């Protein structure tokens, strides 16, 4: 199983337990590019996606709702089921 598959499985099964660096890596695995951010925030964008993905580092963890937003966008793009 690839790293991308492992991260995706973890994000789907337990979005509240994904680390901040893991959600950033997952976004990058699906073609999102880090485009800035301030402080604990990172902004990611991808061609064909109108809204930027904003991830916040909360004590080393990703915010569950932001992980769910990424998964929602990936489903809309047909990247995942």
Whether 77 shows a pLDDT value over 90: the answer reads yes
Whether 56 shows a pLDDT value over 90: the answer reads yes
Degrees (nearest 5) of the Cα angle 41, 45, 51? 90
Whether 80 shows a pLDDT value over 90: the answer reads yes
Task: Read off the pLDDT of each residue in 21-43 and give the average, rounded to a whole number.
Answer: 95
Domains of the chain with CATH codes: 3-76 (3.30.920.30)
Q: What phi, psi does 67 have (nearest 5°)?
A: -65, -45
User: 78: phi > 0 → left, psi -120 to 50 → alpha, else beta; which?
Assistant: left
pTM of the model: 0.94
Distances (CA, A) of 68 to 1, 16, 44: 22, 9, 15
d(CA 6, CA 27): 13
């Amino acid at each position: 199983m690839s790293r991308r598959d492992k991260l995706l499985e973890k994000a789907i099964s337990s979005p509240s337990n994904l680390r901040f660096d893991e959600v950033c890596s997952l976004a990058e695995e699906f073609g999102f590019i880090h485009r800035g951010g301030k402080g604990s925030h990172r902004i990611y964008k991808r061609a064909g996606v109108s809204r930027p993905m904003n991830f916040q580092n909360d004590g080393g963890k990703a915010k569950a709702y932001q992980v769910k937003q990424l998964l929602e966008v990936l489903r809309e793009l047909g990247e995942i089921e």
